[in-house]
Amino acid sequence: MTKFIIITGGVLSGLGKGVVTSSLGKLLKARGFSVTSIKIDPYLNCDAGTMNPFEHGEVFVLKDGTEVDLDLGNYERFLDTDLIGKDNITTGKVYRTVIEKERAGDYLGKTVQIIPHITDEINRRIWEVAEETEVDIVLIELGGTVGDIESMPFLEAVRQLHMDVGEEENNALFIHTTLVPVLDVVGEQKTKPTQHSVKALREIGIEPDVVVGRSKNKLEESTKKKISLFCDVPEKAVISSPNAKSIYRVPLILQKEGLTECVMEGLNLSEVLEQKEDLSVEKVHRMDEWKGFLERFENPTSKIDIALVGKYCDLEDAYVSHEQALNHCRAKTKTKINIKYLESEDLEGKDCSEKHLGDVDGLLIPGGFGDRGVEGKIDALNYARKNDLPTLAICLGFQLSVVEFARNVLGYDEAHSYEFDEKTPDPVIHLLPMQRGIDQMGGTMRLGAEEIEIKEGTKVHEIYGSTEINERHRHRYEVNLDYKDELESHGMVFSAQSPNGKRMEMLELEDHPFFIGCQFHPEFQSRPMKPAPLFLEFVNSMLEQDDGESG
């Protein structure tokens, strides 16, 4: 029987439920359990693909092409697994399915209502994941905050789920994450918000088994006792989750607080372990590899500065996968990596790039949409190419590298992407053939993991050590093959392409220490123990350059 752990949030959003969920998943995997995660997002969008990064942060792309909330990126990184679209449930998906069934006559003669039709569809989706993955434990993070109108159907659904799997059989457990603030005037940890949040849960019919208190500092014993008393949970089930130096320390904090033991006891997981014939002693209670990663991460021996020139820098969550990919490289190389976030609009104009990029060791140009700030990215790429600044250009960055080269090396002054200038005489970047005639925005880009062939003898081949890789995409435009031969004749090497040779996937410059562009998103598949190869070699190129200069 699959066990379910439901993580809810109270008081306010942004408490870090996703990190708690990911950390718990990591701890349970270390104990030898098979685990998967489901993220419930109560917004009406069918997926996160059409959301503004300023409003919602990064859009993470799964291997099957589903565009999802950034929390699923944390799940993949912590659990070292690949999730699929079914692991993300949104109000939009649920309601669309129910309405389509109603139109098809599936509910003929019935009045379609939130209960039972919407709640049944939510639970059908949860059970679908549980049955298809056949894991020991399904972690379910319910986005939003208890008390939100849009969360009510999902809370009712998981209440029913808890009832259906059998309360007495210990097959489901509720973890409630809340804020424990400190008023500066009083200097005391306040539990009243937590009490009210748990009260709201109880009114819905949900009794939390564990309360995770998010706070600036560790919860005091008196605070734990008060939460235990007023929220009717054992004191050992009040878990302190103070601010950490990095999200990668959170699993060890929660482990020390006893969260794993609470879950093991609450779900009778010891019995599940006893039934595992293939479980070796070495797999149980092991977090050694994670501790080694954290030791390297927290004790760097060198330092580099990287400029990330983006369009959404006011919200760093818009580039969270890039940041985490660099963090993975930080641990691998024991290098402190300072990211200098630069709005691309600030780099437009004479000498702006030199002013902002003159004191950094490398340049990272991520993806983005819309023409705002595009010229600033092009100016940054021009500076990096001319000044041998190690550069990694991703998605839009890859495309603009071609635009910059066409303008300033080939001499096509008005070269551009058709996305931004439909009247350009030299559209070196044009619309993918599969995108022609599409009038729907959601879920219609080239999305998900696809095979890529790498040319032997290239720098990219040396980095990957293979002629075949599989990476995730999210774009509508591509390199115009009419310009390919001329670009290559002047020193731009298209070092990887689609299997049919019609789509350019990677580029590199011959006379440059490190200038690589890729149409795909390598950051989505980077893991703590396995940094994305392109990011790792990007960092190594800067370290080698520093060694050369110091030598």
Task: Give the residue numbers marked as catalytic.
Answer: 395, 521, 523
Q: Running DSSP on this structure, what letter comes out for residue 338?
A: E
In whole angstroms, give the CA distance from residue 359 to residue 501: 39
**DSSP line for 392-426:** EEETHHHHHHHHHHHHHTS--TT-EETTT-TT-S-
Q: Which of 7, 24, 2 is nearest to 210 (CA)?
A: 7
Contact between residue 8 and residue 154 where contact means Cβ atoms under 8 Å apart:
no
In whole angstroms, give the CA distance from residue 353 to residue 101: 55
In whole angstroms, give the CA distance from residue 386 to residue 128: 54
Beta-carbon contacts of 227 under 8 Å, excluding residues fewer than 6 positions away, are 180, 191, 194, 195, 211, 213, 219, 233, 238
Q: Which of 496, 491, 504 is nearest to 455 (CA)?
A: 496
What amino acid is encoded at 34 in this protein? Answer: S
In whole angstroms, give the CA distance from residue 314 to residue 373: 14
Beta-carbon contacts of 198 under 8 Å, excluding residues fewer than 6 positions away, are 10, 176, 178, 208, 211, 230, 231, 232
In whole angstroms, give the CA distance from residue 544 to residue 551: 10
In whole angstroms, give the CA distance from residue 104 to residue 184: 58
H/E stretch holding 25 reads helix 17-30
Q: How does 337-351 read in b/e, with b if 16+ C-beta sit within 10 Å?
A: bebbbbbbbebbeee
Q: Which two tokens stand for residue 140?
A: 């379910």
In whole angstroms, give the CA distance from residue 253 to residue 353: 42
Alpha-carbon distances, residue 285 vs 119, 273, 290, 306, 402 (angstroms)? 37, 12, 12, 37, 50
Angle (CA) 256-260-265 rounded to 5° is 130
Q: Which of 14, 58, 49, 70 is nearest to 313 (CA)?
A: 58
H/E stretch holding 9 reads strand 3-9
Q: Which of 477, 441, 293, 281 is nearest to 368 (CA)?
A: 477
